Amino acid sequence: MNPNTLTGNKIPSRIGLPDFLKGVAVALMVQVHLMELFALPEIQQSMAGKISLFLGGPAAAPLFMVVMGYFQARSEKPLSRRIWLGLKLILWGFLLNIGLNAHLLLKIANGTFELNPLTYLFGVDILFLAGLSVIIIAIIWHLFADKLLIWAIMLVLAASINPWIPVYSGTMSWIKYIEAYFWGYHSWSYFPLFPWLSYPLAGYLFGLLCKTSVFKLLIEKYLLQVLLIIAVPLLLFFTFGFRVASNLPVYYHHNEWFVMWTISFLVALTILSQYMMKFTGNNLLIRYVRWMGRNVTAFYVIQWLINGNVATAVFQTMQWTGLLLWFSIVMFSTALMVFLWEKLKQRVYAKTSQ
Spatial contact of 183 and 189, defined as CB atoms under 8 Å apart: no
pTM for this prediction: 0.90
Number of domains in the chain: 1
8-17, 95-104, 198-207, 304-313: the lowest-pLDDT one = 8-17
Task: Give me the mean pLDDT over the 6-12 stretch.
Answer: 35
Asked if residue 34 has pLDDT above 60, the reply is yes
Which of 328, 298, 324, 310 lies closest to 22, judged by CA? 298
Percent of the chain with pLDDT strictly greater than 90:
79
Q: Sorting pLDDT into bands at 50, 70 and 90, what band is 24?
A: very high
Q: Sorting pLDDT into bands at 50, 70 and 90, what band is 5?
A: very low
Asked if residue 349 has pLDDT above 90, the reply is no
9-23, 92-106, 158-172, 273-287: the lowest-pLDDT one = 9-23
Which of 198, 270, 197, 191 lies closest to 234, judged by CA? 270
Three-class secondary structure assignment of the chain: CCHHHCCCCCCCHHHCHHHHHHHHHHHHHHHHHHHHHCECHHHHCCHHHHHHHHHCCCCCHHHHHHHHHHHHHHCCCCHHHHHHHHHHHHHHHHHHHHHHCHHHHHHHHCCCCCCCCHHHHCCECHHHHHHHHHHHHHHHHHHHCCCHHHHHHHHHHHHHCHHHCCCCCCCCCHHHHHHCCCCCCCCCECCCHHHHCHHHHHHHHHHHHCCCHHHHHHHHHCHHHHHHHHHHHHHHCHHHHHHHHCCHHHHHCCCHHHHHHHHHHHHHHHHHHHHHHHHHCCCHHHHHHHHHHHCHHHHHHHHHHHHHHHHHHHCCCECHHHHHHHHHHHHHHHHHHHHHHHHHHHHHHHHHCC
In the prediction, which pLDDT does 278 show? 84
Task: Give me the mean pLDDT over the 154-165 stretch.
Answer: 95
332 versus 348: the higher-pLDDT residue is 332
CA angle 127, 327, 89 (to 5 degrees): 10
Which domain does 185 fall in, by range? 3-352
